[in-house]
Amino acid sequence: MTEDAFLTAYDPSAFERPAVTVDLVLMGLREGRPAVLLVRRAEHPHAGRWALPGSFVGLDETLDTAAVRVLREKAGFFPAEAAGAHLEQLYTFGALDRDPRMRIVTVAYLALLPEAAVTRALESEAGLSAAILDVPWAGEAGGPVAAFAEGDRNRTKPLSLAFDHAEILALAILRLRGKLDYSDIGFALLPEAFTLRQLQDVYEAILGMSLNKPAFRRRMLDRGWLAPTGAREAGTSFRPAELYRFQKTALIPLRP
Amino acid sequence: MTEDAFLTAYDPSAFERPAVTVDLVLMGLREGRPAVLLVRRAEHPHAGRWALPGSFVGLDETLDTAAVRVLREKAGFFPAEAAGAHLEQLYTFGALDRDPRMRIVTVAYLALLPEAAVTRALESEAGLSAAILDVPWAGEAGGPVAAFAEGDRNRTKPLSLAFDHAEILALAILRLRGKLDYSDIGFALLPEAFTLRQLQDVYEAILGMSLNKPAFRRRMLDRGWLAPTGAREAGTSFRPAELYRFQKTALIPLRP
DNA sequence: AGAATAGTGTCTTTCAGACACTATCAT
DNA sequence: ATGATAGTGTCTGAAAGACACTATTCT
C-alpha cells in the first residue's frame, strides 16, 4: 500500500474529538496600571460574567491565525495593529468540565498592546471593557489575580470571570513577569517613543514592586536595546525626560 | 431561557473540528549524554521514520491524563513510574499541513526520566529506541537538534523525524535549558541519590558547555535543595564522592 | 527663585569565574 | 607511595542595591 493509497482510504472522522478554541489575554496599560480587555458574556453559559475574547479554531486556519482573527474581529484591532502586536502562545487548557456545553480544549494566547491601541480598541468595540489588575508581588510562584472594573476606584468587588479564565489570567501574569527581565516584552506595552521613567513604571506595574532607579537605568542602557531619539517629552511642568526608541541590536551578546 | 435549557438545546457537533493529540518528548540520559525515546513508524504516513510517542486525546480524559496514558501504554512505564515522572506541557502545534491525513492539533509534553527508568522502558517496550542528541551551545536562541541512533558512534547519519517532531524536539531542548538554572528539573534526570559531579554532568550535557566546578558546587549547595545522605558512591577506583538527595526546602527564599 | 523630576557618581555587597591548593580513597 | 578525583580557600571582576548628589526644565 502506498502512502497515497493509505491517505485516500483513511477515515478522518473515525473518533469523536474535542472542540478547539483560542482565548486571548489582551494585556495593556490604563493610566500606568496593568489591565486586561474582557467581554461581558451575553449568552449562556456564564451569562453576565466576564470572559477573555476567543473563538473556535476553523479547519482552514492555524492556531496563530485564529488568534490574530480574534484580535481583529472581537477586539476591534485594525489588521495593521493586529499584525504588529506582540502575540505569543501561553498554554493549552483541557480540563474535562471547563465548558458545560461540551468538551473544549482551548489554546490561550497572550497579546501585549500599547496604551494607545487599548484606548482605540475600547472606543471602537462596544462589547469590550478594560479591567484593572491587582498584581501584588506574591513570590515567584505568583498568586491569584484580581480584576476590577475601571470605574471601581476602591477595588472592592473583583469581577467574576467565566470558565477557567481566572486561571488563564493568572498564568499570563506569571509569564509576563518571568519574561520581563530577559526579553523585550516590556517594550510591547509602550508607545514608539518613551522615557526611561515610563519603562520603569511598566516594570514596576507588572512586577508589583518598586525598583531602584540608577540600577534600572544602567541595566536598560547597557543592554543596548535603547536608541535615544534626541527629542524630549512634552507637557510636563518640570524637567522633561529624554525619549528613547526600542531598537534590538543585531549583535546579541552571547555567553562565551 | 435558563442556562439548563440552553445547554440541552445546544448542538455540540455544529462545526467541523480539528483532531487533538498529545506527543511526548521523553528525555533522559544514556551514558551521560542527553537522549530521547522514539518509536519507528510502521505505517503511513511517514512510514520508517522516527516519531515521538503520542496518542489521540479522548473525550473522557484531560490533556495531562492522555499524556500519562501515553507514558504507560506507548513508553512502557509502570503506573508508579508514570505518576512520579516530571511531566510538563511544552507547546501546542497547529500548522495546517503537519499531518497529511487530516487536520491535527497536537499538544506537546516534555517528560524527564531518570537513567534507570529509560533503561527499563527500552527493555520492556520493543518498539522503543533511544536516540542520542547532539546539542552544542548555539546561543540562547538554540539551534537545530540532531538525533542519532545509539549504535551510530560516529554520528554521521542524523535520524529523520516524522511530521514536525524535529521542531518539537528543538523546543524541548530550549525549554530544558531555560528552566535548568531556576527550577529543579535537573534533578528529574538523576537517580534518588547522586553526586555533585553527576549533577554537573547533567547540566553540562544539557547546556552543551562546560561549567566551573567550585562555582557550580557553591550555587547548588547554597540553594539548600541538597541533603547529604551520609553515604558515598561505590565502585570507583579513586576517592568516592559524597551522595546527595534532592530535597526542596519548605522555605523558598523570596525577593523582599 | 523655587519646585519637581531627570539623570549621575560612588560606595558597598553579592556572586560568578578562575586557579591553585588540600583531602581522601583505591590500588 | 601513587594516581586520580573530591572538595575548598581565595583572589578578581562584573553587576546590582542604596544613597546622595548634581542638572535641567517649567512656572
CATH of residue A35's domain is 3.90.79.10
In whole angstroms, how far apart are CA A157 and each of A31, A149, A208? Answer: 20, 8, 20
Query: Residue A132 pairs with which residues in a beta bridge?
Result: A35, A148
Which DSSP symbol is given to A189?
T
Query: A89 and A148 share a domain?
Result: yes
Interface probe, candidates A15, A46, A62, A252, chain B, greatest B C-beta count within 10 A = A62
- Quick one: what percent of chain A has pLDDT higher than 90? 71
Which residues 72-131 of chain A have a CB under 7 Å from nucleic chain C?
none
Averaged pLDDT for residues A147-152: 91
- Cell triple for B173: 531542548
Task: Assess A101–B contact: CB distance below 8 Å, yes or no.
Answer: yes
Strand segments, DSSP code E, in chain B are 19-30, 33-40, 50-51, 54-56, 86-93, 104-112, 128-134, 146-149, 193-194, 226-232, 242-246
Residue B7 has its nearest CB partner, among A6, A94, A100, at A100
How many domains does chain A divide into? Answer: 2
Averaged pLDDT for residues B41-48: 91
| A20·B15 Cβ contact <8 A | no
Domain limits at B160?
Answer: 18-180
Residue A102: φ, ψ to 5°:
-170, 175
* B248, burial (CB in 10 Å: exposed 0-12, middle 13-18, buried 19+): exposed
Query: B225 and B108 share a domain?
Result: no
Q: How confident is the model over A91-143, as pLDDT tens digits?
A: 999 999 999 999 999 999 999 999 889 999 999 998 999 999 988 776 666 77
| Complete DSSP assignment for A12-52 | TTSS---EEEEEEEEEEEETTEEEEEEEE--SSSSTTSEE-
* B60, burial (CB in 10 Å: exposed 0-12, middle 13-18, buried 19+): exposed
Q: Which nucleotides of C are covered by protein (CB under 7 A)?
A: 3-10, 15-20, 23-27
The residue whose CA lies nearest the C1' of nucleotide D2 is B238
Q: Please say whether the beta carbons of B28 and B189 come within 8 A.
A: yes
| A105 vs B contacts (CB less than 8 Å) | 20, 57, 63, 105, 107
Tell me the pTM: 0.91
Q: How many CB pairs under 8 A join A and B?
A: 119
Res. A6: pLDDT tops 70 = no
Strand D reaches within 7 A of the A210 CB: no
Query: A31 and A153 share a domain?
Result: yes
Q: CA of B193 to nearest chain A CA: how many angstroms apart?
A: 27
Query: A153 and A114 share a domain?
Result: yes
Averaged pLDDT for residues B154-175: 94
Any domain includes A11: no
Which positions ≥6 away from B181 have C-beta within 8 Å? none
- Domain endpoint, select from A155, A180, A205: A180
Q: 3-state class of B239 per DSSP?
A: coil
State how beta strands A226-232 and A193-194 pair: unpaired
Task: Assess A139–B contact: CB distance below 8 Å, yes or no.
Answer: yes
Query: B172 and B215 share a domain?
Result: no
Task: Assess A45–B contact: CB distance below 8 Å, yes or no.
Answer: yes
Closest residue in B to A3 (Cα) is B44
The CA–C1' separation of B235 and C14, in angstroms, is 39
Higher-confidence residue of B136 and A26: namely A26
- Quick one: what percent of chain B has pLDDT higher than 70? 89
Query: A36 and A117 share a domain?
Result: yes
Residue A7: predicted pLDDT: 46
The domain that contains B231 carries what CATH number?
Answer: 1.10.10.10
- Cell triple for A238: 518640570
Task: Assess B255–A contact: CB distance below 8 Å, yes or no.
Answer: yes
Residue B120: φ, ψ to 5°:
-65, -40
Type of residue at B12: P
The CA–C1' separation of A242 and D27, in angstroms, is 20
- Domain endpoint, select from B125, B147, B180: B180
Residue A101 has its nearest CB partner, among B2, B7, B18, at B7
Go through B71-104 and write b for each residue having 16 or more CB atoms within 10 A of its CB, e for each that does not: beebbbbeeebbeebbbebbbbbbbeebbeeebb
Residue B155: predicted pLDDT: 85
